[in-house]
A and B are shown apart, each in its own frame.
Chain A
Amino acid sequence: MSTIQTSMPPGAAMGEPSAWARMKTNRNFVALWFMLPAAAFLILFLAYPLGLGVWMSFTDEKIGRSGVFVGLENYEWLWDDAIFWLSVFNTLLYTIVASAIKFAIGLYLALLLNRHMPFKAMIRAIVLIPFIVPTVLSAIAFWWIYDAQFSIISWSLIKLGLITQNINFLGDTSWARASVIIANIWRGVPFVAITLLAGLQTVSPSLYEAATLDGATSWQRFRYITYPLLTPIIAVVMTFSVLFTFTDFQLIWALTRGGPVNATHLMATLSYQRGIISGRLGEGAAIATAMIPFLMAAIAISWFGMQRRKWQQGSDQ
């Protein structure tokens, strides 16, 4: 056995590694580099347009002419604009009614699809169809369904003898509002249903068996087991659902363009009409920016909702 050489020249490699060498092996530093491409992408395509939009809302920019800073003038103008406030009302009505009904139908469908039944996989696939069809395509279908002359609904009701003349679905303000809400619900239910179904399947069947033996009726099993265990996923899916509904544009634009008499104008469609079609970019940007507080509020509600569930966080006391 030979002795191992341990002596080193003084001050050589065994000493403190250089700052650069330490940096190279620091996991956080490496992670930073790996995050850069994604961060660059997000900054370029999300943060920059958002910032630009907010900035634009403080200018009087028009298409083809760069604007100058006008402070809150756009907002002051909107404050006195009845059509803007109508669009805020429409957006809130549209979002609240459609989201609530989407949640109710989605949850019901999810509970139904979670049962054992024949052709389960096929039925689940069918439920997803409204979600897969491009929005504009389904909007055109609804356009026909709601058509003043050729509506299949009017036709059926007349044949059944329930009404005597066609319903003017998209021409009457109340009917128009109801019609776009129904179209939005039709499109949005699959997302809610399938996401809640995924949540339902994470609930262990033995919990239901235990509850059954504990004496729970099927309503009590839903009330005390399913619903509380589903709340985290409900919070997430409803946040998304509210955000999508609040910012909806395609469906309205394809069906009514905000009419009749602005009855279905949402903030998004009004922003587009004022900013792009009329060319007043600054004013359009101000309407779009005005949506931000509402969206932040929706996110905050679900975030604080999740904070309250101690059983999930599981902090050891």
Chain B
Amino acid sequence: MSSVQIRDVRKSFGGFEVLHGVTIPIEDGEFVVLVGPSGCGKSTLLRMLAGLENITSGTISIGERVVNNVQPKERDIAMVFQNYALYPHMTVADNMGFSLKLRGARPEDIKKGVARAAEILALTPLLDRYPRQLSGGQRQRVAMGRAIVRDPQVFLFDEPLSNLDAKLRVAMRTEIKELHQRLKTTTVYVTHDQIEAMTMADKIVVMHDGIVEQMGSPLDLYDKPDNQFVAGFIGSPAMNFLNGHLKSNGSVYVETDNGAKLPLLTAPAASDGRPVVYGVRPEHLELASDGIEAEVIVVEPTGSETQIVARIGTQDIIAVFRDRHEVNPGEKIHLRPRASAAHLFDKDTGRRL
């Protein structure tokens, strides 16, 4: 196990820079999730950490050692690929033991190492099978087994669950988290799925367009997003954003273009009339007669909760309720944002106010 330091790392393909100076400290034993939309550079960063891509500038160190010019096999890392990358012509046991074999380990040691990893992942009955005889979830576990056998300093996961169906994904999520709690190996996990990030991470790194937007614990990011991008990315359904102007004549509130008043607890000083974006999560809206009038567009019951898409003036807003409400499309409802849970962002920069 080791800490990992990513310092001011840049990456260019030809003349095109895709990572613009990324700095991420990762502590020993930490589970860090890199999350962001496709094309944000998270996979590239992971591949640079693995040694599959060159580092244009900046440094990456694993433990005390700067690994910029260290061969992948010398870095003592193991990676789980999105498509698992299992060797199709090798049995499960051979797949898992391949790295030990290359290292020149004795056959009985290979067998022992494979058996240990197989037991952790409940793969023992499958050791003689070939990858194509396995289900998606089993292949996923073999890929993890191949990583565990190595007993590496760092585990790298590159969107490992995106090829699985929804139910299996939830199960594997738990399994990976449990595995990490058991082995306590430093882990860097890349995903575009913010739910995976929220449920698994000790620390989430939200990336966007080659920069780190925010870094922190899952609930920090949820409660105090630094900017509008993070606010919109973390949480599902996504946070609602309403454009308006800040008013602070006695009481503070945000007035939307069509005159609706959105409540606030506090506001930055001397900012009367400033154009802002008012953010409120769907779960922080409640039905109240003194709320803002909205027209129901779509009602989506999921059983445990009800999602209502409603329109205020020209802006759509999503509300989620735990209890069931009898509302129909076309009806008028009154929604009141919870003032204590409201977020305020600068209209131009998107930064939190």
Task: Establish whether residues B72 and A212, one from each chain, have CB atoms under 8 Å apart when the complex forms.
Answer: yes
Query: Which of B19-27, B80-88, B331-339 is near enough to bind chain A?
Result: B80-88
Contact status B88-A311, CB under 8 Å: yes
B89 on the interface (CB 8 Å rule)?
A: yes
List chain A residues, Cβ under 8 A from B40: none
Q: Is the CB of B133 within 8 A of A224?
A: no
List of B residues within 8 angstroms of A216 by Cβ: 73, 102
Closest residue of chain B to A208, judged by CB?
B85
Contact A206 B133 (CB under 8 A): no
A314 and B79 form a contact (CB under 8 A) = no
How far is A228 from B72 in the complex, measured between Cα atoms in Å? Answer: 23
How close is B288's CB to chain A, nearest CB, in angstroms?
50
Q: Which residues of B contact A209 (CB under 8 A)?
A: 50, 52, 79, 81, 85
Chain B residue numbers with a CB within 8 Å of A207 are 85, 87
Give every chain A residue within 8 A of B82 (Cβ-Cβ).
Answer: 206
In the complex, the answer to whether A213 meets B77 with C-beta atoms within 8 Å is: yes
Cα-based distance from A193 to B194 in the complex (angstroms): 46
Q: Is the CB–CB distance between A214 and B132 below 8 Å? A: no
Write the chain B residue with the least CB distance to A227.
B89
Taking a contact as CB atoms under 8 Å apart, the answer to whether B89 and A228 are in contact is yes
Q: Given the complex of chains A and B, what is the CA–CA distance between A47 and B132 in angstroms?
A: 39
Is B98 at the interface (CB under 8 A from chain A)?
yes
A142–chain B nearest beta-carbon distance, Å: 40
Instruction: Judge whether A224 and B130 touch: CB under 8 Å.
Output: no
Q: Does B129 sit at the interface, judged by CB under 8 A?
A: yes
Complex interface: chain A residues within 8 A of B182 (CB) = none
Q: Which residues of A contact B131 (CB under 8 A)?
A: 311
Question: Which of A210, A212, A228, A314 has the largest number of chain B CB atoms within 10 A?
Answer: A210
Q: Report yes or no: A210 in contact with B79, Cβ–Cβ below 8 A.
A: yes
Closest to A232 in B: B89
- A204, A215, A309, A317: the one within 8 Å of B99 (CB): A215
The distance in angstroms between the C-alpha atoms of A206 and B83, with both chains bound, is: 8
Cα-based distance from A211 to B129 in the complex (angstroms): 20
Across the interface, do B130 and A214 meet the contact criterion of CB distance under 8 Å? Answer: no
- Tell me if B130 and A213 are in contact (CB < 8 A): no
Q: B83 contacts which chain A residues (CB < 8 A)?
A: 204, 206
Inter-chain contact B103/A210, CB cutoff 8 Å: no
Query: Any chain B CB within 8 A of the CB of A295?
Result: no
Q: Would you call the interface of chain A mostly helix, strand, loop, or mixed?
A: helix
- Chain A contributes a number of interface residues (CB within 8 A of B) equal to 23
In the complex, the answer to whether B102 meets A225 with C-beta atoms within 8 Å is no
Q: Do B130 and A206 touch across chains, with their CB atoms under 8 A apart? A: no
| Contact indicator A215/B102 (Cβ below 8 Å) | yes
Residues in B with CB closer than 8 Å to A215 are 73, 99, 102-103
Contact with A214, one of B89, B102, B133 (Cβ below 8 angstroms): B102
Verify if B78 is at the interface (C-beta below 8 Å from A).
yes
Residues in B neighbouring A316, C-beta threshold 8 A:
133
**Which one of B89, B103, B146 has the highest number of Cβ atoms from chain A below 10 Å of its Cβ?**
B89
Residue of chain A at shortest CB distance from B81: A206
Within 8 A of B (CB), among A192-211: 204, 206-207, 209-211
CA distance A4 to B87 in the complex (A): 62
Interface residue A236 (Cβ < 8 Å from any Cβ of B):
no
Q: Does A229 contact B (CB under 8 A)?
A: yes
The answer to whether A250 has its CB under 8 Å from any CB of chain B is no
Partner of B73, one of A204, A213, A312: A213
Contacts of B132 in A (CB 8 A): 311, 314
**Pairwise interchain contact A210-B73, C-beta atoms closer than 8 A:** no
CB nearest to B90 among chain A residues: A311
Residue A156 interfacial (CB < 8 Å): no
Which chain B residues (305-320) contact chain A, with CB distance < 8 Å?
Answer: none
Chain B residues with Cβ below 8 Å from A220 are: 102
Closest to B156 in A: A213
Contact with B along A87-103 (1 / 0, CB 8 A): 00000000000000000
Write the nearest CB–CB distance from A10 to chain B, whole angstroms: 53
Q: What are the residues of chain A within 8 A of B51 when measuring CB–CB?
A: 212-213
Does A65 count as interface, using CB distance less than 8 angstroms? no
- In the assembled complex, 29 residue pairs joining A and B whose CB atoms fall closer than 8 Å, in A order, are A206-B81, A206-B85, A207-B85, A209-B79, A209-B85, A210-B79, A210-B146, A211-B87, A212-B52, A212-B72, A212-B73, A213-B52, A213-B73, A213-B79, A214-B98, A214-B102, A214-B146, A214-B150, A215-B99, A216-B73, A228-B89, A311-B90, A311-B130, A311-B131, A311-B132, A312-B89, A314-B130, A314-B132, A317-B129
Chain A residues engaging chain B, CB cutoff 8 angstroms: 204, 206-207, 209-216, 220, 224-225, 228-229, 309-312, 314, 316-317
- A-B pairs, 4 with minimum CB distance: A215-B73, A214-B99, A210-B85, A206-B85
